[in-house]
Structures are given as structure tokens and as C-alpha cells.
């Protein structure tokens, strides 16, 4: 089946989401089954509004620049599809003679991809839909880990190490420093900060994740105890930690985001305030926010390469006749880290979340177990050199100017 292919990016970007994009493009350029390569502008939005670019016209140099650029080079969109949207998207796919659709995204996007796959099947239109995983949150089920996670983990663990050098050297200032990690329902990123224990076993870091109910009283006691022992204290907290009743911590004034989910980001500010009100310590917080998913200087080489490989693999799966599946990463046994790529039905990932196993969390000491470190350590290995111009990174996105 020869035909055109369409690629779109979805959801929150990662440092390596463009590695997957270029992996798909480079492999599609080699494919005997693929003619034109379209890139949907701003994700689903481009498919609904007939906005796309010709990815097969990019030069080799431009492809290389895009690989080393954070953000979603094609643009992305957060939006919940209606039945009518689905029809329009498949209309668009049919009208462009698209036979291969590659959708780079997280668990919400895999749901959308699955619906598109079903709609095409319903019409009897031959379309291969392949999901390409990406998630800094690492919350995709049925894959060992998600591209994007390793780089965000490396970013945050490096942040903790840098800040530890700062606060340790100002130990007389009596201060607790809180770093807020992304993670609405899962604590993978906050947990990854336990990696700093690989560098030194003597870093007073407390980790709090949504998978374990948060108690403000236990938190304050632990902070005071740690501070009295070390003279300073570092805390990393997932944005989505919840109390015993399942309420978001510090979220008295919660607002909703466009998808109707509570908008987060206030927990570190709240905890800072509580520490200052209830103890004799001072506190401050660091909020890397979207930078933890868009920094590429601290990107993991393993993560970047795997993100590129899942893109290539997606094209191979389509060539092999798969559809309605997502590429997975499977860790091989053995002492040295190695992976193979597999596939699972989109429905096995769609709208579901993988949480941190509580057996990997040491709630007593607010840290992670050795088993978790063994899991995450290989994912942050290696550095990527980003080309610079005049001391700043040379990035290349693909969006037309004022495309909004």
C-alpha cells in the first residue's frame, strides 16, 4: 500500500520530542511505501484547519537543527476531540491520500489516535495509525519508560545537585529550599531526584510524590529533623501531591485548565509559607515549570537516541502492516542496559496512567529505594552537544511566522 504520510505532535512538548519527529521523517524518506510527508501544524488543530507543511522538502541541515531543538517543532495543541472533529480529521486524511498517520504524544493523545484509527476502520479506509510515545511524566503504561522522561529527570537531578552546592555553602542561612517538579498524578520526576544520592550519600533531600498521601505535620517534623541534623534541607515535591483525603495540597483556590483538570503549580509556594509560619526556619522555592521539559542543555543522550529510534520504529511498524498500536520500549535483562522496541494496542495506553510503585518509595525516609535507582539511572546517561551561535543555542522550529 503506497501513499502519503502525516505526522503530528501532541500535548506538552519534551526536550526530545523533535528527535522522534526527525526519526519518523528520516525513516519515511527511505521508505518505498511512502510518498509525500506532511506535518500537521499545531497538532490536531492543523488537521481540523488544513494547515500543514511538507516535511520531505527539508534539507539535511535543517532536519539536524530541528532534532536539537526543544518544544514541538510542528506545534501542538491540547484539545478534546468531538465525534464531528473525528469525521473532519478522517476527511482530511482521505482527501490527502494519507495512508500512514504517526502521532507523537502521551496517554491522552493515544486515546485520540485510537479514535482516529477506529473511525478510519469504520469507513473501510486503509490507514495505518501508529502512536509514538512521549511524556516527561513517564506515565505511559506498557512501556518500560517514555521518551522525554530521562532528560527531564537529568535536568531536575542536576538542578538539585547545583542548588545543594549553593545552599550547603550558605548553610548558616538556616534555610529550607523546595524544588517543585511536574507530575499531576504521578511522582516519577520528583522521584528521579533521588539520583543525586549516586553522587553523594550525604545530601539531605526529602522527596514527596502523589502516590503517597501527604501529611503536613509529618512533613514539618521531617524538615525540622533533617535541618537539625545537616544544617540545611532540600525538598523536592511533585506538583500534584495530595493529602489523606485525596485533596491537592495547598490547593484552596484551585482553578480549572481548558481540559477541566485542576490547574496546579502552587504547592511549593504553599509549603514555603507553612514552614515559615510554623517553624523557626526560613524557606524558599524553585519553580522550573515548563523549563524542565524544554531544556536541552541537560538532555540525556540515552533519552535523545531512544526518542529518535521510536520514531524510526514507528515507520517500520507501519511498513509491517501494524495499525492502532504504539511503539514501546522494552528493557532487556542482563547487567548492561539495553532495550528492544515493541508495540502494543493504543487502547492499552490510552487515557491510563502508570504510577510509581509504592514499593519503590521509602515513605519513612522520604526517598526512593535502590530498585528505583536501578530503574532510572540508565535513562539519564550521556550528554548531547547542542550547537551554539554567539553563546546561545541555535534552534530551528518549523512553524510559519505568526501561526497561531
Q: Under rule CB under 8 A, which residues in 270-309 are in contact with a copy of itself?
A: 276, 284-291, 293-298, 300
* Burial of 34 (C-beta count, 10 Å sphere; 0-12/13-18/19+): buried
CA 376 to chain centre: 14
For residues 144 and 330, what is the distance between their CA atoms, to the nearest angstrom? 5
| The one segment of 55-63, 132-140, 182-190, 396-404 that binds a copy of itself by CB under 8 A | 396-404
Which residue's CB is nearer to a copy of itself, number 128 or number 233? 233
Give the interface segment with a copy of itself, choosing from 5-13, 57-65, 336-344, 351-359 (CB under 8 A): 5-13
Work out how close the CB of 163 gets to a copy of itself at its nearest, in angstroms, rounded to a whole number: 6
State which of residues 3, 75, 105, 133 lies at the interface with a copy of itself (CB under 8 A). 75
User: How far is 260 from 249, CA to CA, in rounded Å?
Assistant: 18
* Contact set for a copy of itself, span 205-244 (CB under 8 A): 230-232
Pairing of strands 52-54, 98-105: unpaired
Using the minimum distance from each CB to a copy of itself, give the nearer residue, 141 or 297: 297
- Can residue 377 be called a binding residue for a copy of itself (CB under 8 A)? yes
Least spacing, CB of residue 113 vs a copy of itself, in Å: 19
Contact 313, 100 (CB under 8 A): no
Which span (20-28, 31-39, 167-175, 234-242) binds a copy of itself, by CB under 8 A?
Answer: 167-175
CB closer to a copy of itself, 128 vs 236: 236
Q: How far is the CB of 199 from a copy of itself (least distance, A)?
A: 5
- Of 151-159, 215-223, 330-338, 356-364, the segment contacting a copy of itself by CB under 8 A is 151-159
Do 326 and 173 contact (CB within 8 A), yes or no? Answer: no
Between 99 and 175, whose beta carbon lies closer to a copy of itself? 175
CA 41, CA 75: separation in Å to the nearest integer? 6
Is 303 considered catalytic here?
no
Task: Specify the residue, 27 or 293, whose C-beta has the smaller distance to a copy of itself.
Answer: 293
* Shortest Å distance, C-beta 214 to a copy of itself: 21
Q: What is the footprint of a copy of itself within residues 11-70 (CB under 8 A)?
A: 12-13, 42, 45, 69-70
Min dist. Cβ of residue 132 to a copy of itself (A): 16
Contact of 232 with 175, CB cutoff 8 Å? yes
Phi/psi of residue 96, nearest 5 degrees: -95, 5
Stretch that binds a copy of itself, among 94-102, 120-128, 156-164, 354-362 (CB under 8 A): 156-164
Rounded distance, CA 142 to CA 393, Å? Answer: 35
Q: Could you tell me the smallest distance in angstroms from the CB atom of residue 279 to a copy of itself?
A: 14
Distance (Å) of CA 106 to CA 130, 133, 319: 13, 6, 23
Binds a copy of itself by CB under 8 A, chosen from 3, 8, 9, 361? 9
Q: Which of 6, 37, 89, 167 binds a copy of itself (CB under 8 A)?
A: 167
Single out the residue of 2, 54, 87, 198 in contact with a copy of itself (rule: CB under 8 A).
Answer: 198
Beta-sheet pairing, 34-40 with 52-54:
antiparallel
Rule CB under 8 A: choose which of 169, 215, 351, 365 binds a copy of itself.
169
Tell me if 172 sits within 8 A of 158, measured CB to CB: no
Q: Which of 202, 217, 244, 252 binds a copy of itself (CB under 8 A)?
A: 202
Q: Which of residues 330-369 bind a copy of itself (CB under 8 A)?
A: none
SS3 call for 48: helix
Q: Which is nearer to a copy of itself, 33 or 62 (CB)?
A: 62
Task: State how beta strands 255-256 and 262-263 pair.
Answer: antiparallel
Cα separation, 131 vs 329, in Å, equals: 13
Smallest distance from a copy of itself to CB 142, Å: 26
- Strand, helix or coil at 205? strand
How far apart are the C-alpha atoms of 389 and 404, rounded to whole Å?
Answer: 27
CB 55 within 8 A of CB 7: yes
Of residues 76-105, those binding a copy of itself (CB under 8 A): 76-79
- Cβ proximity to a copy of itself: between 352 and 397 the closer is 397
Nearest to 271 by CA among 231, 307, 308, 238: 238
Catalytic residue among 117, 137, 251, 303: 137
The C-alpha cell that represents 184 in the structure block: 499531576
Q: How many Å apart are CA 381 and CA 197, to the nearest integer?
A: 15
Catalytic residue IDs: 137
Amino acid at each position: 500500500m503506497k501513499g502519503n504520510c502525516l505526522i503530528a505532535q501532541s500535548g506538552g512538548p519534551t526536550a526530545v520530542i523533535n528527535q522522534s519527529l526527525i526519526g519518523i521523517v528520516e525513516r519515511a524518506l527511505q521508505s518505498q511505501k511512502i510518498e509525500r510527508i506532511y506535518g500537521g501544524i499545531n497538532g490536531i488543530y492543523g488537521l481540523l484547519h488544513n494547515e500543514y507543511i511538507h516535511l520531505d522538502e527539508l534539507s539535511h541541515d535543517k532536519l539536524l537543527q530541528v532534532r536539537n531543538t526543544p518544544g514541538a517543532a510542528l506545534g501542538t495543541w491540547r484539545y478534546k476531540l468531538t465525534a464531528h472533529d473525528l469525521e473532519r480529521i478522517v476527511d482530511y486524511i482521505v482527501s490527502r491520500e494519507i495512508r500512514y498517520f504517526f502521532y507523537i504524544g502521551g496517554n491522552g493523545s493515544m486515546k485520540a489516535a485510537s479514535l482516529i484509527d477506529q473511525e478510519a476502520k469504520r469507513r473501510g479506509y486503509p490507514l495505518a495509525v501508529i502512536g509514538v510515545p512521549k511524556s516527561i511524566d513517564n506515565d505511559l503504561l506498557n512501556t518500560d519508560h517514555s521518551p522525554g522522561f530521562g532528560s527531564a529527570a537529568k535536568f531536575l537531578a542536576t538542578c538539585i545537585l547545583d542548588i545543594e552546592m549553593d545552599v550547603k555553602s550558605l548553610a548558616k542561612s538556616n534555610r529550607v529550599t523546595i524544588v517543585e517538579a511536574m507530575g499531576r498524578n504521578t511522582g516519577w520526576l520528583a522521584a528521579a531526584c533521588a539520583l543525586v544520592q549516586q553522587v553523594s550519600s550525604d545530601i539531605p533531600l526529602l522527596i514527596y510524590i502523589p502516590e503517597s498521601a501527604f501529611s503536613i505535620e509529618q512533613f514539618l517534623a521531617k524538615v525540622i529533623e533533617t535541618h537539625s541534623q545537616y544544617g540545611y534541607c532540600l525538598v523536592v515535591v511533585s506538583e500534584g501531591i495530595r493529602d489523606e483525603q485525596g485533596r491537592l495540597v495547598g490547593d484552596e483556590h484551585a482553578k480549572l485548565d481548558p481540559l477541566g483538570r485542576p490547574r496546579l503549580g502552587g504547592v511549593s509556594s504553599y509549603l514555603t509559607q507553612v514552614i515559615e509560619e510554623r517553624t523557626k526556619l526560613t524557606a524558599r522555592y524553585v519553580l522550573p515549570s515548563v523549563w524542565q521539559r524544554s531544556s536541552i542543555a541537560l538532555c540525556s543522550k540515552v533519552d535523545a537516541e531512544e526518542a529518535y529510534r521510536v520514531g524510526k520504529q514507528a515507520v517500520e511498524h507501519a511498513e509491517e502492516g501494524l495499525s492502532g498500536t504504539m511503539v514501546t520500549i522494552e528493557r532487556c535483562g542482563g547487567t548492561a542496559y539495553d532495550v528492544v522496541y515493541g508495540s502494543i494496542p493504543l487502547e492499552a495506553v490510552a487515557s491510563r496512567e502508570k504510577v510509581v510503585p509504592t514499593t519503590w518509595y521509602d515513605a519513612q525516609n522520604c526517598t526512593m529505594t535502590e530498585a528505583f535507582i536501578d530503574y532510572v539511572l540508565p535513562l539519564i546517561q550521556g550528554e548531547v552537544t547542542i550547537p551554539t551561535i554567539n553563546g546561545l543555542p541555535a534552534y530551528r522550529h518549523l512553524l510559519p511566522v505568526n501561526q497561531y
